[in-house]
Chain A
Amino acid sequence: MPALKADIITQLKKDILALQGFRPLLHKHSRIELGTINHSFPDSQFPLGVNHEFICNNNESLTASSGFIAGILSTLLKKGGAALWISSSYTIFPPALVSFGINPAQFIFIRLRNRNQILWTIEEALKCEGLTAVVGEPSFIDLAISRRLQLATEQSGVTGFLLRTKQQTLNTTACTCRWQIHPLQSETEDGLPEVGFPRLKVELLKVRSGRPGKWEIEWNNGSFNEVITKHSSAIDEHKEAV
């Protein structure tokens, strides 16, 4: 009987998600494995075919966000496909993408200065169904722009990653997920003075029909893995105690 109840509950949850405007993944999308982070998303799947925002206050967090995006794109681009990277203030060094398991030749990089042109390019690119993903740096966006971009994404099924580099305040936007990513000190096994695997602090500030959260992850062996540190385990214990 409890099993039946659980079935009914999961079915009801799915119905509620559908009513909330959640769309299941399309056939062309592949699942992205992010470990425990996936539990925060509706249906435990990294949302694709939507817009993700990244709050980047400085160059370091911009690079960290780019790294996180590159890690996600490596799964998306494994089966072929192409992506567009539109930037204004910085340049991606293509050989570094190889260490994230991406062939940089699948990318088309666009460099622009004018913000209006950037927004136009991002919107045109998001409308193009032949692309797998679009990474854009619109510097800052307001509700109207984010709605426009979201509509473009919903029609085409392209996943958009928007880097907000000059955002002073966190305003309301129509994005599905909002992230903030910072670099963390890496750790080596025996405390050697060399630099270890890139480690990131990932904050999911907002997710539609999901639960926000905070994680520490590390890129090694071609995927993101959660790092269990003393600090975070202490938090968990504290939560359990409460």
Chain B
Amino acid sequence: MKRFVSIWFPYLKTDWFSVRQPLLRELPFVVVVPDHGRKLISAANEQAVKRSINTGMVAADAKAIYPLLQVIDDEPGLSERLLKRMAEWSIRFSPCVAVDGDDGLIIDATGCSHLWGGDKFYIEDIIARFHKHGYTVRVAIADTIGAAWAVARFNKDQSIIEPGQHFVALLSLPGAALRLDDETTDRLNKLGLRQVKDFINMPKAALRRRFLNHGDTKAQRNTKSSKPPLGGLGVRINQALGLEEEMIQPVIPVEPYQERLPCLEPIATATGIEIALQRLLESLCKRLKQEGKGIRGALFKCYRIDGKIEKISIGTIRASHHVDHLFRLFALKIGAIEPALGIELFILHATKVEDHSPLQEKIWNSEAGLHDERIAELLDRLSCKIGIDAIHRYLPDEHYWPERSVKNVLSLDETTITEWKVNRPRPLQLLERPEYIEVTAPIPDYPPMNFRYKGKLHTIKKADGPERIEQEWWIEEGQHRDYYYVEDQEGCRYWLFRLGHYDESYQWFVHGFFV
């Protein structure tokens, strides 16, 4: 015989906000979503509900009822995310947990509650644990999903329906307790069938005639979809009574990408650590390969017998499940592990896993460019040793200011539609920061005659310019630069600029060297 627990979160979203901001717990507040230029309340907390502010109202109306009401913007997809996490967390109560709508969970508790010493303790434990995390829950356990759902939401006094008693428990509940849609519920109310007991014993044929459009007949007619529509009255009655099987979709938690290797004897040598690492990598990469994934980041933990944990971690530029490559990355850091008296347990944990896109193999692999696996592997090794900050790849950026005209990109695959600007001369070597020079210039806005840089006098023979580049005021305030491309008596070519106008205070700088 089956047993199901239905958990209902009456204040799911507001509880979540209260957990993050404990001050809110005492205040009435609502969560709103924008809807046609107004703010519609999508959730209200207990304090607000007490002041008759309910979901579906407009925030302005609610403020008229209670002016001190706090209004918080909703986060899209919040309840789905929360429920999924809670379902995964609830696997502690039963291996089979499913998300139920947007405000509840269903637990298949068949054969579980005796481990807690009975239904009562089981339910109490669930309530207490959720309460500890700051969530208000209403829980019911019954033989069918439908009955548990109905009791959790519509019967405050009872939470345990003894086996075989679910029919009796349902009788005094309203029609909506059978998970019917609004239209069906309205029609039932119109007909005066306010409680389940008013219609549950009616002949099926009579109900079918009245609820033709909402009932199971429609579902039977529509043979394409195997699932009955939610509003099907007949189906819902049968499900609540256990006459019809109801399926739930249990959540499957993601198994962490982790491998363990316990050792009989403590290991204290580098060779031993290498063998352990090799074995762990092989088994982890085998699994990753089957799933078409690759490691972007991995952590190797060594548990020492004196209780300390030694850790080394690696990162890769592209997802990889290549054992040799990953081993070489770790090998650069194995020296940092201090085994002391010995290591008794090794754990390899893939902290970041991404889809691995295998490249098509070519006979001539010379033109792969940056997409070559070997380059990605080289860069992984380099970044492990010298740090990722030292490695740069540049793409053009939409700026004229020389320092901002290139942007540093991390990924090897990134491209841009911006083109390199080549209409003006640019020096091959750019000084990181312009260096101050002394200049003699004959007349304003004319290239200088000579300049003194690092104590050496350069007489200018040829010059191009000026090219004026303005500071981008929306990024940084400052004076413009007038650039000159000059050549001295020895043929060395420089990029000089004057900062500011001639009549004001100005300075000359050298900014780069041309070929």
B-contacting residues of A (Cβ < 8 Å)?
28, 59-60, 62-64, 66-68, 70, 79-82, 90-99, 103-112, 117, 120-121, 124-125, 128-131, 182-186, 188, 193-196, 198-200, 219
Q: Which residues of B contact A194 (CB under 8 A)?
A: 462-464
| A118 → B minimal CB distance (Å) | 9
Nearest-CB distance from B405 to chain A (Å)?
6
The stretch among B246-254, B289-297, B426-434 that forms the contact with chain A is B426-434
Q: Which 10 A-B pairs have the closest CB atoms?
A: A67-B515, A130-B374, A130-B372, A93-B430, A185-B491, A80-B367, A63-B513, A28-B366, A60-B492, A96-B428
Contacts of B375 in A (CB 8 A): 82, 108, 128, 130-131
Q: A80-B367, A95-B422 are in contact. List 20 more A-B contacts (CB 8 A).
A: A28-B366, A63-B515, A80-B369, A81-B367, A93-B429, A94-B394, A94-B406, A95-B396, A95-B405, A95-B406, A95-B420, A96-B427, A96-B428, A104-B420, A107-B393, A109-B394, A112-B386, A130-B368, A185-B461, A185-B487
Bound CA span A55–B492, Å: 17
Residue in A28, A66, A79, A117 whose beta carbon sits within 8 Å of that of B428 in the complex: A66
Indicate which residue in B377, B391, B395, B464 contacts A195 across the interface (CB closer than 8 Å): B464
Q: How far is the CB of A91 from chain B (nearest CB, A)?
A: 6
Give chain A residues whose Cβ lies under 8 Å from the Cβ of B377.
128
Any chain A CB within 8 A of the CB of B21?
A: no
Which of these, B370, B415, B512, B515, contacts A64 with CB under 8 Å? B515
Given the interface pairs A60-B513, A81-B366, A82-B369, the reply to whether A130 lies near B491 with Cβ below 8 Å is no
User: Which of A68, A99, A188, A195 is the most central at the interface, judged by chain B CB atoms within 10 Å of its CB?
Assistant: A195
Residues of B that sit less than 8 Å from A by CB? 364-370, 372-375, 377-379, 381-382, 385-386, 390-396, 402, 405-406, 415, 420-422, 425-432, 461-464, 485-487, 489-493, 512-515
B431 / chain A contacts, CB cutoff of 8 Å: 91
Whole-angstrom CA separation of A225 from B428 in the bound complex: 20
Complex: how many Å from CA A58 to CA B426? 20
Chain B residue contacts of A94, Cβ below 8 A:
394, 406, 420
- A57 CB → nearest B CB, Å: 12
Least CB separation from A112: chain B residue: B390
Number of A-B contacts (CB under 8 A): 172
Nearest-neighbor residue (CB-CB) of A219 within chain B:
B515
A contacts with B: majority SS: mixed
For residue B389, which residue of chain A has the nearest CB? A111
**CB closest residue in chain A, given B369:** A80
- Shortest Cβ distance from B219 into chain A, in angstroms? 58
Contact of B393 among A108, A185, A198 (CB under 8 A): A108
Q: Determine if B491 and A128 form an interchain contact, defined as CB atoms under 8 angstroms apart.
A: no
B191 CB → nearest A CB, Å: 73
Contact, CB under 8 Å: B512 / A93: yes
Interfacial chain B residues near A79, Cβ < 8 Å: 366-367
Contact status B428-A110, CB under 8 Å: no
Q: Are the C-beta atoms of A108 and B369 separated by less than 8 Å?
A: no
B370 neighbours in A (Cβ, 8 Å)? 82, 105-106, 108
A111 to B391, CA, bound (A): 7
Residue of B nearest to A64 (CB): B515
Q: Which residues of B contact A129 (CB under 8 A)?
A: 374
